[in-house]
């Protein structure tokens, strides 16, 4: 074939005169909005999480939301202790 994308190496290039397939060309344009270093940081933080870490992150976000709801509901009786849901597990990071 000889016309596969120079980046992913899988898909066809947009044309013979382009280096990349449509998606990789888009990626390149998006990534150029930031410095390569910044892009690596962002991608490492967002993409290099395994399923357990993603699950943990989601749980943490849900807890935050629930906490806020409890706080606003208990606005008048602030003497009530909010439930301690913060776990002290250090399995992650
Ligand atoms: Zn590609």
One digit per residue, the tens of pLDDT, for the chain of length 93 reads 568 999 999 999 999 889 999 999 999 998 888 888 988 888 888 877 777 777 777 888 888 888 888 888 777 665 566 666 666 666 555
27 shares its domain with 57:
no
Model confidence over 20-45: pLDDT tens digits? Answer: 999 999 999 988 888 889 888 888 88
Whole-number pLDDT of residue 73 = 78
Would 62 be classed as within a structural domain? yes
Would 38 be classed as within a structural domain? yes
Give 20 Cα–ligand 1 centroid separation in angstroms.
Answer: 5
The answer to whether the CB of 21 falls within 8 A of the CB of 38 is no
58 shares its domain with 26:
no
Give 49 Cα–ligand 1 centroid separation in angstroms.
Answer: 23
Note down the domain range covering 60. Answer: 34-75
Whole-number pLDDT of residue 33 = 86
Give 48 Cα–ligand 1 centroid separation in angstroms.
Answer: 20
Would 86 be classed as within a structural domain? no
User: pTM for the complete prediction?
Assistant: 0.46
Would 44 be classed as within a structural domain? yes
Sort 4 into a burial class: Cβ within 10 Å, 0-12 / 13-18 / 19+. middle
Give 30 Cα–ligand 1 centroid separation in angstroms.
Answer: 14
What span, in angstroms and rounded, lies between the C-alpha atoms of 69 and 37? 38
């Amino acid at each position: 074939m000889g016309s596969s994308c120079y980046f992913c190496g899988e898909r066809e290039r947009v044309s013979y005169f382009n280096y990349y397939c449509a998606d990789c060309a888009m990626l390149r344009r998006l990534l150029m909005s930031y410095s390569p270093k910044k892009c690596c940081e962002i991608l490492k933080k967002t993409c290099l999480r395994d399923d357990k870490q993603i699950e943990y992150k989601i749980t943490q976000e849900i807890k935050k939301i629930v906490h806020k709801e409890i706080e606003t509901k208990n606005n008048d009786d602030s003497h009530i202790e909010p439930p301690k849901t913060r776990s002290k597990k250090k399995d992650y990071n």
